[in-house]
A and B are shown apart, each in its own frame.
Chain A
Amino acid sequence: MTGYIIRRLLQLLPVVIIASVGIWGMIYAVPGSPIGAIVGENGTQEQIQAAIERLGLDQPIMVQFWQWFKGAIVGDFGYSTQSRDPVLQVILYRIPATVQLGVFAIVVGLVLGIPVAIISAVYPGSWIDRALSGWSALALGVPTFWLGILLILLFSVQLQWLPSASGYVSFFEAPLQAIKNTFLPALTLGTYVSGIFARFLRASLLGELKADYVRTARSKGLKERDVIGRHVLRNALLPFVTVVGLMAAAFIGGTVVTEAVFTYPGIGRLLIQAITTRDYPLIQGCILFILIVHVLINLLVDVLYAYIDPRIDYS
């Protein structure tokens, strides 16, 4: 198993390296000089000189890339041109907020999605199945940002129950306040997650329900609850895990958009701010960071898949 993980990690290496060449090259594609992009438009003469020396911009291009790459490996992406803080520090500061939003959204998605999937798979073709399929089509089809706006219109403007813009409060420090602040963003993003569950877990469950062991379990007198809960659901989760990997990209994109809707101070909003202020070192840092997270989620899915299915040969 360890060997398998290491080998998969090594396979990811070229992807990450090629992508970082692209991210590094970004600076050179920006109209104007890379110096302007690195120190910002209002950089002083000393800052420009310092950047030239630090980045070795008078050196051959390969050497320049190597310098940047060496720094990037140990987490040194340079300094934000806006706040003048180290990029890594700025990013790390925003991580807890995004992680909390992501976890809350997944919880919402599970709570809404799994029952929907089970009910519609148990009564396929019935009116309730058709209604729930409509729900999943809507959950997957409605743009996240518009859903967010609708939820604000309902819960903040009409009912005035929840704030329309939410700062980050840690769940471990003030659980109630954290839930109140994160509820709408999590519901927005979680609706999408529930759509994935409703559509793909349903398909997966339907496939499993036709299996022989289900008939055996029923004929030996097991209650339907136990048949589904103890046998079918477990097996159906297996093919579903790969779907989770495929949906990771959409989930990350959804997080960025959701953070923008609720002006929620996470990584996504940081990236948007960096783009609007043309803070290139910060843009590079954010994108590389998100890329690595995405790649690792996919790796985790593969490993998890190999781990839960003993039939997969990972030698």
Chain B
Amino acid sequence: MKDGTRRALGLAKRVLGRKGALAGVLFLATVVFIAIFARWIIPYDPIAQDLVSSLEPPGRKHWFGADELGRDILARVAYGARTSLLTAAGAVTVAAFFGVPIGLVAGFFGGWRDAILMRIVDVLLSLPGILFAMALIAVLGRSQLAALVAVGITGIPSFARITRAQVLSLRKRDFVMAVEALGGSSTYNMFMTVLPNSWSPILVQVVILSSVAILLEAALAFLGVGIPPPTPSWGEMLRTGKSYLYEAPYYAVLPGIVLTLTILSLDTIGRTLAWALEERHEQAEEEAEEGDKRSAA
């Protein structure tokens, strides 16, 4: 077995050994499964209207009730998972695609590049994420792409900062200096030497930011500036559900539970992952120390 695969397996084992993270992974796996296979599992179309069953309470026909247009709430939650997960995945990709290189360059070169890039990051951070996203959508108009880009941009600063911090801690290490001394180009050094050694905090950030992205997308939809209807989205369902709290109090329950559990799952997995990587890091250092002692003796 390759060394990398073995380490990944060890890490997965350690994370899944924690009850909270295990529950999170199982829940997320279920949500992903339903999102992918919704067409075969759910007998209802999430968009087709059926005004006869408008606001029908939970029963044998609609397990979690029907919404104001008679659409099955369970079906809309299932298809909403697609919207949510895809938007979040896209947003995190956008954030990492821009944030990681910014952090790499800023940390690796320092000096004026660092000053300029980090100032831009500061400006992005000076506006609360949700407001930045709202401003961007005010300009771009409401669409799934706009929501994705807006949420993605708000994630750039955290990737940039975390990568930069990691690069700074590696910059003067022997193996990086060695590549430099041997005449390796800065680009090669950044992407082939520093980046592969920085993946663990970036990975943690990917997981944690996914939960933030799902929350932000839902919040935008709830405020009425997210993905436009009739695309099913958890935030949009909560928004309409809020108008029928007296007539149909069950309306907002299922989307809210699924949204909350998804966010909590990702957050728990992210924090367990951070803990497991930290522990492994400490272990590796202890082993390295012992190795030093042995070779000294």
Residues of A within 8 A of B (CB): 14-16, 18-19, 22-23, 26, 29-31, 137-138, 141-146, 149-150, 152-153, 156-157, 164, 248-250, 252-253, 256-257, 260-261, 271-272, 275-276, 278, 280, 283, 287, 290-291, 294-295
Contact = CB atoms under 8 A, between A and B. Distances in A.
Contact of A26 (B119, B135, B241): B135
Contacts of B268: 137
Contacts of A260: 222-223
Contact of B139 (A26, A149, A294): A26
Given A26-B139, A149-B256, A261 B128 contact: no
B134 A275 contact: yes
Given A144-B219, A294-B128, 13 more contacts: A16-B126, A141-B260, A142-B260, A145-B219, A145-B238, A156-B245, A157-B245, A157-B249, A253-B219, A257-B130, A260-B222, A275-B138, A280-B138
A270 B20 CA distance: 40
B289 interface: no
A287 B130 CA distance: 11
B190 to A, nearest CB: 26
B137 interface: yes
Interface string B165-187: 00000000000000000000000
A250 B134 contact: no
Contacts of B249: 153, 157
21 contacts: A19-B126, A29-B139, A137-B267, A138-B264, A141-B260, A141-B263, A143-B263, A146-B260, A149-B242, A149-B256, A150-B256, A153-B249, A157-B245, A157-B249, A164-B245, A249-B128, A252-B128, A253-B130, A256-B134, A272-B223, A290-B131
- What is the interface of chain A mostly: helix, strand, loop, or mixed? helix
Q: Size class of B's contact patch? A: 35 or more
A277 to B, nearest CB: 11
A152 B252 CA distance: 11
B201 interface: no
Nearest to A150: B256
A231 to B, nearest CB: 30
Contact of B224 (A15, A144, A276): A276
Contacts of B137: 275
Nearest to A260: B223
A252 B141 CA distance: 23
Contact of A141 (B119, B223, B267): B267
A291 B223 contact: no
A256 B223 contact: yes
Interface of B: 119-120, 122-123, 125-131, 134-135, 137-139, 141, 215, 218-219, 222-225, 235, 238, 241-242, 245-246, 249, 252, 256, 259-260, 263-264, 267-268
Contacts, number: 118
A143, A260, A272, most chain B CB atoms within 10 A: A143
Nearest to B250: A153
B267 A145 contact: no
B238 A249 contact: no
B242 A295 contact: no
A164 B256 CA distance: 18
Contacts of B256: 143, 146, 149-150
Contacts of B131: 252-253, 256, 271, 287, 290-291
A15 B260 contact: no
Given A145-B238, A253-B130, A275 B123 contact: no
Contacts of B128: 248-250, 252-253, 290, 294
Contacts of B138: 26, 30, 275, 278, 280, 283
